[in-house]
Amino acid sequence: MPADAVPSSGPPPRGRFAPSPTGGMHLGNAFAALLAWLACKSRGGRMVFRLEDLDPARSRPEFAEGLLRDLSWLGLSWDEGPDVGGPYGPYRQSERLHLYQEAAERLAARGLVYPCFCTRKDLRTLASAPHAGEAGPAYPGTCAGLTPGECAAREAAGRRPALRLRCPDEGVRFVDLARGELCLSPADLGDVAIRRSDRIWAYQLAVVADDAAMRISQVVRGDDLLDSTPRQVLLFHLLGAPTPEFLHVPLLVDEEGQRLAKRHAALSLAALRDAGVAAAAATGWLGFAAGLLPEPAPCRAEDLLPLFDPARLPRGPVMLPSGLADRLRRLS
Residues recognised as catalytic: 262
Longest CA pairwise span in the chain (Å): 68
Q: Starting from the edge strand earliest in sequence, which strands make up the sheet with 245-249, in order?
A: 180-184, 172-176, 245-249, 218-222
H/E segment holding residue 115: strand 113-116
H/E segment holding residue 278: none
d(C-alpha 170, C-alpha 183), whole Å: 11
Instruction: Please classify residue 188 by burial: count the beta carbons closer than 10 Å to its beta carbon, then call 0-12 exposed, 13-18 middle and 19+ buried.
Output: middle
Task: For residue 174, give Cα distances in angstroms to 12, 20, 63, 78, 246.
Answer: 20, 25, 33, 27, 8
Residues in the chain: 332
First-to-final CA distance of the chain: 50
CB-CB contact of 96 with 54 (8 Å): no
The single-letter code of the amino acid at 126 is L
